[in-house]
Amino acid sequence: MIKLIVIIISLLLAFVECYFIPISIGYKILLFVLFILLNIILLVVLFFVFMFLVGLPINTKKEPIHYNKFYRHILYIATKTCLSLFSVKIQTEGLEKIPQDTNFVIVFNHTSNLDSMVMDVCMQEYPLVFVAKKSLFKIPFFGKMIHKIGYIKLDRSDVRQELKAIYKGIDFLNQNECSIGVSPEGTRNFTDEVLLPFKIGCLHLVTESKRPIVVSTITGTKEVKKNLLFKRHSVKFKILDVINYDEYKDLSRAQIAQEIRTIMLKDLNSFK
């Protein structure tokens, strides 16, 4: 829809710009096409200028201690716009299973940097931050935005910092600030395997907060980079199951990880 709006605005502007220029019809058509392209570029530039201005007040040296709803809405607008321009069509299934009376930890498989963007759009009505690798916080505009929202920066090369990040997430959950999204794989899956081995350290978020585990899968994001701007891409986000505290309280983190993995594999193998 956003992509269509951009094209329509560009067409209207090009028509107005060409209407009063006294040249032959042939040259006017060529100029019309040129103005369309220039207007599209202009609108994209204005979008990034807007993102830059919104991000100016953000101090990345100050660690946020609360979830920021305002910047979450700004991020939603940005991600929704980008996904639309990339012709990403999202299908959802099982969203009605998401707990409505408490925050939660949502786990997902990880094959693309677009995964969290897709989830962010699909779950816009829920306060949500993600556990994200530190390199994402260096991306222009996006990095400052997720920092301000309260995303949890994870540095796997520093055990002390990693532990500090996990406890920040636990505090967010215990104080009912927001829900937490995390991939138990710990990194993007570039292999042919359906799932990478799980890193069970992230499940401290679950065992320490006693919150429900929302098990989800994302398929299709890995293929979006192919013909990025000229092909429509179908992505599916599914909520598979919710594991409540009473169901995992007597399990070790390794056993919880195995339970989650079994649920994910059953769904992901159906796409093979």
* pLDDT (mean) for 12-22: 75
Q: Using one digit for the tens of pLDDT, what is the confidence trace for 169-191?
A: 999 999 999 999 999 998 888 88
User: Which of the four pLDDT bands, split at 50, 70 and 90, describes residue 163?
Assistant: confident
Lowest mean pLDDT among 76-85, 141-150, 211-220: 76-85
Rounded to whole angstroms, how far apart are CA atoms 109 and 215?
9
- What is the DSSP code (8-state) at residue 201? G
List of domains in the chain? 2-54 (no CATH), 64-271 (3.40.1130.10)
Q: Using one digit for the tens of pLDDT, what is the confidence trace for 54-106?
A: 888 898 888 888 999 999 999 998 898 888 878 889 999 999 999 999 999 99
Written as one letter, the residue type at 88 is: V
pLDDT at 111 over 80: yes
Q: Using one digit for the tens of pLDDT, what is the confidence trace for 21-62?
A: 777 776 677 877 788 888 888 887 888 888 888 888 898 888
Q: Are strands 233-243 and 213-219 parallel, antiparallel or unpaired?
A: antiparallel
Look up the pTM and report it.
0.85
Cα-based torsion angle of the residue sequence 99, 153, 228, 7 in order, rounded to the nearest 10 degrees? 70
Residues 90/11, Cβ–Cβ less than 8 Å:
no
Residues 180/173, Cβ–Cβ less than 8 Å:
yes
Strand order in the sheet with 213-219: 88-93, 233-243, 213-219, 105-107, 179-182, 128-133, 152-154
